[in-house]
């Protein structure tokens, strides 16, 4: 299981950006099934990973913000006694191993039989930032690690390099029982620092910035301005005026190419190992990332660029070279892996198994994908539409056939009423308050919301 932090659809196999160079992830997609319309359950690392690893929706657990790995199942009735994904395999005779960022930090204590540990921070970092200070200049806002530039000198100084070597070493061993092995990559999470050679793959003069409409947010409800108030992040207007936008895109692409190379190193090690013929590989990201779309550089929203992320399965008895365009959820990873490995379903999983799609029995992953961002704010993605409903009743609606950039909110159009009613059906029936240990300090809106809507 390969987990990648903040990776959006900027892969060759997803056609997310014309400058993307990702031959290894593209190779994995060609050898398996790519869910091109897969979506996270929360557009933020902590709640997204907690959802995936528990098999429960954020609206079920109240985990809407960051949470310490060991506190996911503490003081929370909905997660009491929950069996985490790697733990389920451990309980069923698998030797479990993991390194890097798999849950929010690494993993709850005891989940892995063998742990390479948490990779400290998102370094290495230079003594001084190159471009962006990370300081919002406002009270009530957290600082960001956002910055970009070529650093350090060698890949061997990067934590992801070290995680790769640890993973390769485990793949080269023999085991007397089946194994579950997971590696969590940090890049392309900010800061966008990788050695110069990865920047050289993406010459600045060739860089294309993503589509942007300056008036994009004019037809949105007022609540979006509160939720999307992120002064710690660069705005698109600042990036345009400063001339930094192409450099930021270059840096993100460089980080993606860096990670892609080390994904390739792991795939090569697997292919040359004794386990090549009987191992299933799943690669996923915890959410996407806006690189100037919708006015800023961040995840933190219910729009397409933040919710859509790669999901690829490959290996034993899995179809090859298939791209699925119907909606899928990261929530489905847990039940799908159990199904593929012949394990008994876990009755508490809220996702559905994608195994029938992987075996070629159907070409439809699901009818919808649901993303939640804070209490009561939900986005429903179907094959052609995205519907968003906020906790004050405000709404957005986008037709992806005509408007893939989600520039035009159709919620006021009279002929859209019946479509909205169809989409409302998929909003969660359970919508619990903020869990005790779930913390969200990115802006005053969410600080206030937790005070009002908490256990």
Residue 425 reports pLDDT greater than 90 = yes
Q: How far is CA 438 from the centre of its chain?
A: 18
**Second CATH level (architecture) for the domain 2-452:** 3-Layer(aba) Sandwich (3.40)
pLDDT band (50, 70, 90) for residue 454: confident
The whole-angstrom separation of Cα 86 and Cα 203 is 41
For residue 5, what pLDDT is reported? 98
List 355's β-bridge partners, or say none: none
Total count of residues recorded for the chain? 455
For residue 161, what pLDDT is reported? 97
Residue 254 reports pLDDT greater than 90 = yes
Q: What is the mean pLDDT of residues 265-270?
A: 98
Taking only the tens place, the pLDDT of each residue in 148-197 is: 999 999 999 999 999 999 999 999 999 999 999 999 999 999 999 999 99
Q: What percent of the chain has pLDDT over 90?
A: 92
pLDDT band (50, 70, 90) for residue 444: confident
Phi–psi pair at 208, nearest 5 degrees: -110, 135
Taking only the tens place, the pLDDT of each residue in 58-96 is: 999 999 999 999 999 999 999 999 999 999 999 999 999
The whole-angstrom separation of Cα 336 and Cα 317 is 13
For residue 440, what pLDDT is reported? 83
Q: What is the mean pLDDT of residues 345-368?
A: 97
For residue 145, what pLDDT is reported? 94
For residue 69, what pLDDT is reported? 96
| Whether 438 contacts 64, CB under 8 Å | yes
- Residue 374 CA: distances (Å) to CA of 55, 302, 414: 18, 10, 29
pLDDT band (50, 70, 90) for residue 206: very high
Q: What is the mean pLDDT of residues 317-343?
A: 98
Domain range list for the chain: 2-452
**Which positions are annotated as active-site residues?**
45, 104
The whole-angstrom separation of Cα 418 and Cα 66 is 36
The whole-angstrom separation of Cα 308 and Cα 329 is 9
Residue 252 has which token pair?
A: 């993100």
Q: What is the mean pLDDT of residues 416-420?
A: 93
To 5 degrees, how large is the angle CA 421–CA 427–CA 433?
140
Q: What is the mean pLDDT of residues 367-386?
A: 97
Q: What is the mean pLDDT of residues 411-435?
A: 94
pLDDT band (50, 70, 90) for residue 281: very high
Taking only the tens place, the pLDDT of each residue in 101-152 is: 999 999 999 999 999 998 778 889 999 999 999 887 777 788 899 999 999 9
For residue 139, what pLDDT is reported? 76
Of the ranges 130-134, 248-252, 406-410, 447-451, which one carries the lowest mean pLDDT score?
447-451
What ranges make up the beta strands (E) of 128-225? 148-150, 179-185, 192-194
The whole-angstrom separation of Cα 127 and Cα 64 is 33
For residue 135, what pLDDT is reported? 80
The whole-angstrom separation of Cα 3 and Cα 22 is 16
Q: What is the mean pLDDT of residues 15-36?
A: 98
The whole-angstrom separation of Cα 433 and Cα 24 is 41
Helix (H) or strand (E) segment spanning residue 285: strand 280-285
For residue 107, what pLDDT is reported? 96
């Amino acid at each position: 299981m390969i987990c990648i932090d903040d990776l959006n659809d900027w892969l060759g196999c997803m056609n997310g950006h014309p400058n993307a160079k990702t031959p290894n992830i593209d190779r994995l997609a060609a050898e398996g099934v790519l869910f091109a319309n897969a979506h996270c359950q929360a557009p933020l690392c902590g709640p997204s990973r907690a959802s995936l690893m528990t098999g429960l929706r954020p609206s079920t657990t109240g985990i809407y913000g960051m949470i310490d790995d060991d506190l996911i199942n503490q003081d929370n009735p909905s997660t009491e006694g929950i069996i985490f994904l790697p733990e389920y395999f451990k309980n069923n005779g698998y030797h479990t191993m993991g390194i890097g960022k798999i849950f929010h930090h690494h993993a709850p204590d005891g989940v892995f039989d063998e742990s390479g540990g948490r990779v400290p921070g998102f370094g290495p970092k230079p003594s001084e930032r190159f471009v962006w200070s990370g300081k919002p200049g406002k009270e009530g806002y957290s600082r960001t690690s956002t910055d970009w530039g070529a650093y350090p000198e060698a890949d061997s100084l990067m934590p992801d390099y070290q995680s790769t070597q640890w993973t390769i070493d485990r793949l080269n061993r023999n085991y007397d029982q089946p194994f579950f092995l997971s590696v969590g990559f940090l890049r392309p999470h900010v800061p966008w620092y990788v050695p110069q050679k990865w920047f050289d793959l993406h010459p600045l003069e060739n860089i294309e910035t993503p589509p942007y409409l300056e008036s994009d947010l004019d037809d949105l409800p007022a609540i979006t301005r509160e939720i999307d108030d992120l002064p710690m992040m660069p705005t698109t207007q600042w990036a345009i005026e400063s001339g930094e936008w192409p450099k930021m895109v270059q840096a993100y692409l460089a980080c993606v190419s860096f990670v892609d190379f080390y994904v390739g190193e792991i795939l090569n090690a697997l292919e040359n190992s004794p386990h090549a013929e009987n191992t299933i590989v799943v690669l996923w990201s915890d959410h996407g990332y806006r690189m100037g779309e919708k006015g800023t550089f961040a995840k933190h929203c219910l729009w397409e660029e933040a919710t859509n992320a790669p999901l690829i399965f490959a290996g034993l008895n899995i179809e090859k070279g298939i791209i699925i365009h119907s909606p899928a959820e990261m929530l489905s990873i847990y039940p799908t892996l159990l199904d593929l490995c012949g394990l008994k379903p876990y009755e508490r999983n809220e996702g559905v198994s994608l195994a029938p799609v992987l075996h070629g029995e159907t070409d439809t992953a699901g009818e919808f994908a649901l993303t939640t961002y804070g209490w009561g704010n939900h986005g429903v993605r179907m094959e052609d539409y995205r519907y968003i409903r906020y906790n004050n009743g405000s709404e957005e609606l986008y037709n992806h056939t005509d408007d893939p950039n989600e520039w035009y909110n159709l919620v006021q159009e009279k002929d859209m009423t019946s479509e909205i009613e169809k989409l409302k059906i998929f909003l969660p029936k359970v919508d619990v308050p903020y869990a005790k240990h779930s913390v969200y300090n990115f802006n005053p809106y969410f600080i206030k919301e937790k005070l009002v809507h908490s256990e």
